[in-house]
Structure 1
């Protein structure tokens, strides 16, 4: 595995669909400096890719498994950024009052529903967070989300939720991961407190 320099704080934000991952990543982008953000959703294979696996008894690709994503490319882009070639999807490097910084360090956020189930990414993270929701809360939120291609009838119960439970079970065995309740509004405060514990200070 390529070496990650100690001038980076890498934060993994993963977990259940509609749990608050992207919202937290965007809030961190606005709170930390300098920061680079990667979104796993940018790495889905095209709909007609042979990498996709069809859902059992459904006319639909299973987009809720790691094989539906080009994780090797995502990891390469992350490592290229760490090594000096910016491949991030969004960044914020402007040093202004009110933001948090850690002296001589840069932040990198890796966000997505299974980013930490991909071991190379899990291992480079310094801080790891995983959102959870109950079945009822997740299903209620998912109803208001539009996907391309859209969910078909039965997809949530046959693919989305069972796959989440499988990946969640893997993550919950790792004591390095902080579990976040997606129904609570304090995720940003939890992460910022951890940043402060690593030397983070507000720019005056």
Structure 2
């Protein structure tokens, strides 16, 4: 395994419900933190014809809303490689730009995705852990406006997406280190910044 010094890093995990604003939060943090590296869990889905996939019960459609649909070991390995000095991130900003923020001289790494906090090795790496929640109606409404590849088939949200979310959320709620965020609230970004300030955020001059 690659060698890294965890004390040199602040790792931020943003997980939770589909269409809850996870990627938006991660990208907003990427815009202000320096140096920063971002990982998106969606990049690690197995190919549609992979034998790792399982079908949704009673449907001719892969269940993309379970951990086994993703190569989480590869994601973890890429995170560790990045923390060891070999950048495997999906986006990074390392220049010390005036007006940006740094956390006590450390490097920041953000992992985001719908079940990224349910993968224990990545969960344990994180210094800050967040899980975005939505109620059924709001989530369904937002999901209906998204285009997926492959596209959702009729009944997929009701029979796979939402039940899997409820299962994974119940698991997360057992871990008191994870802070729940209401995906309908506009101040989640400010909540994250406030938490980072407790770790020693300062502006780069």
Q: Taking structure 2 as the reference length, what is the TM-score of the superposition?
A: 0.97
How do 1:11-22 residues align onto structure 2 when only pairs under 5 Å count?
A: 11-22=12-23
Unmatched runs of 5 consecutive residues or more in structure 2: none
Query: Could you report, residue by residue, the CA deviation over 1:121-162 in whole angstroms, capped at 9, with x for unpaired residues?
Result: 000100000000000000000000000000000000000000
Query: For the residues of structure 2 that align with 1:81 and 1:158, how far apart are their CA atoms?
Result: 37
Counterpart position of 1:133: 134
Query: For the residues of structure 1 that align with 2:129 and 2:56, how far apart are their CA atoms?
Result: 30
How far is the alpha carbon of 1:4 from its aligned partner? 4.5
Residues 98 and 202 in structure 1, CA contact (< 8 A), matched pair in contact too? yes
How do 1:78-93 residues align onto structure 2 when only pairs under 5 Å count?
A: 78-93=79-94
Counterpart position of 1:164: 165
How do 1:1-204 residues align onto structure 2 when only pairs under 5 Å count?
A: 4-204=5-205
Q: Taking structure 1 as the reference length, what is the TM-score of the superposition?
A: 0.97
| Residues paired across the two proteins, number | 204
Q: Which runs of 4+ in 1 moved over 3 A?
A: 1-4
Residues 10 and 107 in structure 1, CA contact (< 8 A), matched pair in contact too? yes
Query: For the residues of structure 1 that align with 2:156 and 2:140, how far apart are their CA atoms?
Result: 11
What SS does the corresponding residue of 1:6 show, helix, strand or coil?
helix
Query: Could you report, residue by residue, the CA deviation over 1:1-57 in whole angstroms, capped at 9, with x for unpaired residues?
Result: 976520100000000000000000000000100000000000000000000000001
Query: For the residues of structure 2 that align with 1:148 and 1:4, how far apart are their CA atoms?
Result: 38
Query: For the residues of structure 2 that align with 1:91 and 1:69, how far apart are their CA atoms?
Result: 22
Query: For the residues of structure 2 that align with 1:134 and 1:165, how far apart are their CA atoms?
Result: 10
What SS does the corresponding residue of 2:6 show, helix, strand or coil?
coil
How far is the alpha carbon of 1:188 from its aligned partner? 1.0
